[in-house]
Chain A
Amino acid sequence: MSDVLIRAQSLVKKFDDFVAVDSIDFEVSQGESFGFLGPNGAGKTSTMRMIEAVSPVTSGSLSVLGLDPADEGPRIRSRLGVVPQENNLDEELTVYDNLMMYGRYFDLDRDVIRERIDELLDFVQLEDKRDSKVSALSGGMKRRVIIARGLINEPEVYILDEPTTGLDPQARHVLWDRLYRLKQRGVTLIITTHYMDEAEQLCDRLVVMDKGKIVAEGSPRYLIETYTPRDVVELRFPVGVLEQVASSIEDLGDRTEILADRALVYTDDAEKTVAMVADRHEPETVLARRSTLEDVFLRLTGRSLVE
């Protein structure tokens, strides 16, 4: 058995009568980078909070680092790192104070924390912000402080709940780069996201979640190969035209999806499809691209990841 750090079986989370996590099974192994991809409300955060031994499990079984979160909360949390979905730094304090304070919650020695703060600020490239108040930092920098904070106890598993949501592309790439380095160092990562590019970039293996259920599981590549043809041709038509042509583009590829603003034609041969389109229609734009996890999600649920 490879080192399974987290194992969930028929895991359920209910809030009163509402089922947020609907009997899911998954395993995360040592050193892997595991993703939960799904739209808002899929149940990702609820799942993370159960793993973090913060939110009680409603039913099913969950083992984290071989421990039961119901009985061993503090022990589990002392070995996890957490980047929550919402920023919850103390805005009035400096970066240094935030990290020191957090380290002390783990009952670490001040000298040890001080050393780690230096290393971690170097790692997230914020050495020069050490004594800045958090409220003066940009969104991307705050996120990096939180990444550093989550590493202060040298966690065995690092859980990141939507690490880059709300950031601009440049800030996201900086973060991805840092997370990629962590992955290379062998830290076990659990990442939730509703960005398919994030999942593709960072995850060795992922589950696609929708409405509390896991609808598919595998490596990004496996999922794309399994659930969707290789290429997609995106067609945009002038307002009102899309409905009229909808039926006549159905045979352009293996499958078509009509979205609000465009049609997606799935095909193994984009060139041929593009040529056929040019014969028959006059779309405003034609874009041929490779299939992504976004297409996998659309295929599995009939909806887009990001509304």
Chain B
Amino acid sequence: MATPLALRVFEAEARVYKRTWRGSVFSSFLNPVLYLLAMGVGLGTLVDANLPPELEGVSYLSFLAPGLLVATAMQTGAGEGAWKVMGGIKWLQTWKARLATPIGTKSLLGGHLLWSGARVLMVSVIFAIVIAIFRVSPLWQSLLAVFPALLVGMAMASLTTAFTLHTRTEAALPMYFRFVVIPMFLFSGVFFPIEQLPNWLQPVALVTPLYHGVEMARAIVLGLEPAVAPWVSILYLTALTVLGAALSIRPLRSELKP
């Protein structure tokens, strides 16, 4: 075959996306604008009044913006791994259709993850532009922060895909978001440093993919020293992505090729 078949799957997802891209791009703009206005600017005026010493000179808006960028990437990745996968195997059966063609389970998974990465990238780049519009940092700096966001989004897409394929029940997905994704969103250092968490919770925050991305993105946008060495975070997030993919193959095969 001339082209890796995963690219054909990617292309198919792009074709599906083309139908709704306007609405999708619009909300990818609106979301960060609303969040940054409400929490960064609105809430920020309250917070700025009593900043911890290590954040001196940093506005809450600047503190929040890179964190939210990565958090949005995280949620996008989780969404692709949850709804897209459930749709493919259960609701629409479109993944089954693909397997009647030369596409195999690995190309299917590869194409899916590639596309998830593309979605994360789109959302993150738009977010980075909004950050620049809010004058938190120059555009090039916020665009650099897209890299950790992408790593986090990919890790989440991959792990969530594995989760969806293992449970294969619709009802599990809202639970997953309620008990995994949203707590991670709230307590991984996006809204406040994890040092503010009770001691026993801090190690939990430390192992979330989101925390690592937030640290890197914040370091890039604010020009600070990250709490974890970047190479450790990069390695960790990459490992999670590989792990999710590895855990996905077997249930994908037993679901689609019984």
Instruction: Write the residues of chain A forming the contact surface with B, with a CB cutoff of 8 angstroms.
Output: 15, 52, 54-56, 73-75, 77-78, 80, 82, 84, 86, 88-93, 97, 100-102, 104-107, 153
Residues of B within 8 A of A80 (CB): 100
The chain A residue with its CB closest to the CB of B4 is A107
B199 in contact (CB, < 8 A): no
- Tell me if A102 and B257 are in contact (CB < 8 A): no
8 contacts between A and B (CB under 8 A): A54-B99, A74-B5, A82-B100, A88-B93, A92-B16, A105-B5, A107-B1, A107-B2
Q: Choose among B97, B103, B104 the residue that contacts A88 (Cβ–Cβ < 8 A).
A: B97
Indicate whether A106 sits within 8 Å of B96 (C-beta atoms), given known contacts A55-B257, A93-B19, A100-B15: no
- Counting chain B residues whose Cβ lies within 8 A of the other chain, the interface size class is 20 to 34
- Please give me the residue from chain A that is nearest to B97 by CB atom: A88
Contacts of B104 in A (CB 8 A): 73-74
Q: Is B258 an interface residue (CB 8 A)?
A: yes
Q: Chain B: which residue is nearest A105 at the CB level?
A: B101
Supply 16 further A-B pairs (C-beta < 8 A) apart from A105-B102, A106-B101: A54-B99, A54-B256, A55-B258, A73-B104, A84-B96, A86-B93, A89-B97, A90-B16, A91-B92, A92-B16, A93-B15, A100-B15, A107-B1, A107-B2, A107-B5, A153-B101
Asked if B12 is at the interface (CB within 8 A of a chain A CB), the reply is yes
Closest to A92 in B: B19
Complex CA distance for A90 and B91, rounded to whole angstroms: 10
Answer yes or no: B98 CB below 8 A from chain A CBs. Answer: yes
From DSSP, what is the main secondary structure of chain A's interface residues? Answer: loop
Residues of B within 8 A of A93 (CB): 15-16, 19
For the complex of A and B, list the 8 residue pairs with the smallest distance between their C-beta atoms, beginning with the closest: A105-B101, A88-B93, A74-B102, A82-B100, A88-B97, A78-B102, A101-B12, A104-B8
Rounded to whole Å, the gap between the CB of B255 and the closest CB of chain A is: 12
Question: With a CB–CB cut-off of 8 A, which chain A residues contact B169?
Answer: none
Which residue from chain A places its CB closest to the CB of B3 in the assembled complex? A107
Inter-chain contacts of A100 with B (CB < 8 A): 15
**Which chain B residue has the least Cβ–Cβ distance from A83?**
B100
Q: With a 10 A CB-CB cut-off, give which of A97, A101, A105, A153 has the most chain B CB atoms.
A: A105
- The reply to whether B3 and A101 form a contact with Cβ atoms under 8 Å apart is no
Note all chain A residues with C-beta closer than 8 A to B93.
86, 88
Residues of chain B within 8 A (CB-CB) of A106 are 101-102
What distance in Å separates the Cβ of B171 from its nearest Cβ neighbour in chain A?
Answer: 22
Task: Tell whether B45 is near chain A: CB-to-CB under 8 Å.
Answer: no
Q: Does B31 contact A (CB under 8 A)?
A: no
Contact partners of A153 in chain B: CB under 8 A? 101
For residues 1 through 47 of chain B, which have their beta carbon under 8 Å from a beta carbon of chain A?
A: 1-3, 5, 8-9, 11-12, 15-16, 19
Partner among A56, A77, A84, A107 whose Cβ is within 8 Å of the Cβ of B8: A107
Given the complex, which residues of A lie within 8 Å of B3, measured CB to CB? 107
Question: Chain A's nearest CB lies how many Å from the CB of B137?
Answer: 39
Quick one: CB contact mask for B144-175 with A, threshold 8 Å, 1 for yes?
A: 00000000000000000000000000000000
Cβ–Cβ contact A88 & B94, under 8 A: yes
Say which residue of B92, B102, B256, B257 sits within 8 Å of A90 (CB atoms).
B92
Chain B residues with CB under 8 Å of A102's CB are 97, 101
**Residue contact B8 to A90, C-beta cutoff 8 Å:** no
Residues of A close to B11: CB separation below 8 A = 101, 104
- For residue B16, which residues in chain A have a CB less than 8 angstroms away from its CB? 90, 92-93
CA distance A80 to B102 in the complex (A): 10
* Residues in B neighbouring A92, C-beta threshold 8 A: 16, 19
Enumerate chain A residues within 8 angstroms of B100, measured Cβ to Cβ.
52, 54, 77, 80, 82, 84
List chain A residues, Cβ under 8 A from B19: 92-93
